[in-house]
Amino acid sequence: MAAPLLSALPDAIDLSGMLSLPEAAACLRRAAIYAGNDSGLMHLAAAAGAPTLGLFGPTPAAEYAPAGRRTGVALSGTARMEDLSVADALAAAHTLLARAAPPVATPLDAPYAA
């Protein structure tokens, strides 16, 4: 299912189905932005500290939006996901990135010293 997107993004790294949840969280923490529908991965991205944009159509964003200070939503004008325009999602992403503060560094961010 990811093939069409990966072919459009030749520099993308395909990790589909290859990561544990902690490994996925570590990758998401380093993401410049995560944009996706209401899913466990969206909530994991927000919990990991990535700027996270939730894309919503029929699901109520007020109830299921990602939580955190580096999150935002793009809402369809109707109850259909197909009616969420790329332009509206892109505008919401720009707004999120403009206001998202950098994550707070943690000891886990320090290089591993053996």
* pLDDT attached to residue 114: 44
Residue 68 lies in a domain: yes
pTM score > 0.95 for this model? no
The CATH number covering residue 64 comes to 3.40.50.2000
Residue 22 lies in a domain: no
Residue 10 lies in a domain: no
Residue 84 lies in a domain: yes
**In angstroms, what CA-CA distances link 52 with 4, 70, 112?**
23, 6, 27
Instruction: Please give the structure tokens belonging to residue 28.
Output: 């998401």
Residue 14 lies in a domain: no
Round to whole Å and give the CA distance between 66 and 28: 14
Residue 7 lies in a domain: no
* pLDDT attached to residue 1: 79
Residue 12 lies in a domain: no
Q: Could you list the residue range(s) of the whole structural domain that residue 97 is in?
A: 29-102
Q: How many CB atoms lie within 10 A of CB 95?
A: 13
For 45-85, give the DSSP string. HHHHT--EEEEESSS-HHHHPPPSTTEEEEE-SSS-GGGS-
**Taking the chain, what is the end-to-end CA distance rounded to the nearest angstrom?**
40
* pLDDT attached to residue 100: 81
Residue 62 lies in a domain: yes
Tens of pLDDT along the chain (114 residues)? 788 888 999 898 889 899 999 999 999 999 999 999 999 999 999 999 999 999 999 999 999 999 999 999 999 999 899 999 999 999 999 999 999 866 666 665 555 444
